[in-house]
A and B are shown apart, each in its own frame.
Chain A
Amino acid sequence: MEHQQGNYTDYTTTSFFKDETFIRHVLKWDDASIAYWVQLSTQYPDKRAAMEEARAWILLLNREPAYSPATGKSLLWEKIAGNIAADEQRQRRYYRPMKLVAKWTAAAAAVLLFMVVVRELSSHGQRSYTTAFGKHEQVVLPDESVVTLNGNSSIHYSRTWKSAKPREIWLNGEAYFEVKHVAIKNRWQQSDSFHVHVSNLALTVLGTKFNVRNRRNITEISLLEGSLRIEKNGPGAFVKILKPGDAFVYDSSKQLLKEMERKPQANKAWTANELDLDGYTLREILNVLEDNYGYSITLDAPELAQKRLSGTVPAANADDILFVIRKVFNLKISQKANHLIISQN
């Protein structure tokens, strides 16, 4: 240990007592520190008593025996361990599940928010409605036009309908439209029109009531009020203006438009939960059951397929329709889940 030889002439007991180097020497002496302080005591013989006293103070204070309590260490630890165990128990029972719930709730909320955002972004602010088999739904559009969706059908449209642009809506399946007339009298603008995109046709109307059915590449358009223009662009392009009471059917696989025998009123009967059988063959009725109610049907009596019926049957559910055809044609219907096998009795 190297020491800067200090000046100790004025040193007293208390000086030594608070001298860092001296304290260190007294408590943790080594050969070097002994050599230093022995040398110092020969240099300052008059300081020996003071050094001695300071050393005694330091040692007395430092070597004070530790207090030993009457009670035991292990006993106290047992208490602490018991306390800790009880606390752990409480944590497990109350706080941790709560923390976990909070954590998962937050995570679920974040995921939900993310999904909503992604959906909004990916659909460009589109709004869509889809019905399940056998269910109807009424949708009020932003312009207060009303669309009634038949089962297994969907529409979508842009959420923001600007007044300067034509209203546009896309349809899959079957729907009945009651379009609100927004044009001012004697003034017609492109922006007042209402477009329905179905299959590869564009239907343009002003204020009208019409039914559109789009199943199996066949699109039936039945106009009840007002006027309607069917437009087909691209190959086989045509334009057809419908008058009230007109019903046309377009086969997109054959690109063929022809007049329907069925009346428009019959085609919209479904909105009143009825099925107007007027002019329908058994095959066509079964198609309705498949398209609107989600059955898959095997007809084991092909000779009956083209038989026709007339009249109106309740159509709130498929059983009503099935009941009628079973009675009328004397059929046997066996059902396995959604699969119906129809044969002659």
Chain B
Amino acid sequence: MQDDKDIWEAFRSGDESSLQRIFDKYYTPLFNYGHKFSADDHLIEDALQNLFVRLWKNRDGIKDTGSVKNYLYKSFRRVLLRMLEVQQREYSFSVPEGWPGPGQELPYDQTLISRERLESIRSNLVAALEKMTPRQREIIHLRYYEEMEYEEIAALMQLSVSSTYKLLYKAIDTLRQYLSKTDLLILLAVVSLKKI
């Protein structure tokens, strides 16, 4: 498995198959990210097509990049938001969906938490996210889903690093208001467990 940088290098020197490999690798993540902004699959497809055709056309002028992922996300976000702007749609960022429903467990969980408690945490989290502004939801998504660093998020969202901190803390502050009420019984159950 070649790493991103080598493939990127090959693409920049005119290898179309390398661009296809980049597309294959990032199609799902980018689509997922785009879906947060709009439920219109065709629009996201257009944005992706737009992005990759433009990458190919401008390959001579594209600089070496520290992170291919960040470069793609940033370009894709710009393209998609521009298209949404043209359609005069407001900036939005959807609440996560498709989480394990009631009665299901956390992925790879060691079943430390009772189902009831997990369910209450989950519904509170959803409620908190719904309460957030779209930008707060986006930063939560980038931080915890994409696992990006502050600097990367700042570059992607075109914010200063300090504004990024502020935005994330505001989001977390919203979360605080939706803490689940831990009752004594659950607490006792937790105490009896050895591992987290």
Contact = CB atoms under 8 A, between A and B. Distances in A.
Contacts of A13: 176, 179
A69 B140 contact: no
A87 B109 CA distance: 50
Interface in B84-101: 96-99
Interface string B27-38: 111011001000
Contact of B168 (A18, A58, A81): A18
Contact of B49 (A51, A58, A59, A83): A83
A94 interface: no
A73 interface: yes
B190 A64 contact: no
Contacts of B63: none
Interface in A7-42: 12-14, 17-18, 23, 27, 34, 37-38, 41
A18 B28 CA distance: 27
A35 B150 CA distance: 28
Contact of A55 (B45, B180, B191, B196): B196
Given A61-B140, A77-B23, A81-B20, A69 B98 contact: no
B2 interface: no
Contact of A64 (B29, B56, B145, B194): B145
B99 A60 contact: yes
B48 interface: yes
B179 A80 contact: no
Contacts of B173: 14
A57 B53 contact: no
A79 interface: yes
Nearest to B118: A56
Give the bracket for the number of chain B residues in contact with chain A: 35 or more
Interface string A247-279: 000000000000000000000000000000000
Contacts of A69: 31, 35, 41, 44-45
Nearest to A79: B49
A56 B195 contact: no
B196 A38 contact: yes
A76 B27 contact: yes
Contact of A60 (B23, B57, B122): B122
A65 interface: yes
A168 interface: no
A67 B182 contact: no
A53 B179 contact: yes
B172 A14 contact: yes
A235 interface: no
Contact of A83 (B53, B109, B125, B182): B53
Nearest to B109: A59
Given A41-B196, A76-B27, A80-B49, A17 B99 contact: no
Contacts of B172: 14, 17-18
B147 interface: yes
B41 A80 contact: no
B187 interface: yes
A320 interface: no
Nearest to A73: B27
A185 interface: no
22 contacts: A14-B173, A17-B172, A18-B169, A37-B196, A38-B195, A49-B182, A52-B113, A52-B190, A53-B180, A56-B106, A59-B109, A60-B99, A61-B145, A66-B28, A67-B31, A69-B41, A69-B45, A76-B48, A77-B24, A81-B16, A83-B53, A87-B56
Q: Which 3 A-B pairs have the closest CB atoms?
A: A61-B144, A67-B35, A66-B32
Given A52-B117, A76-B27, 10 more contacts: A12-B179, A13-B179, A17-B172, A49-B190, A56-B122, A62-B147, A63-B106, A69-B35, A69-B41, A80-B53
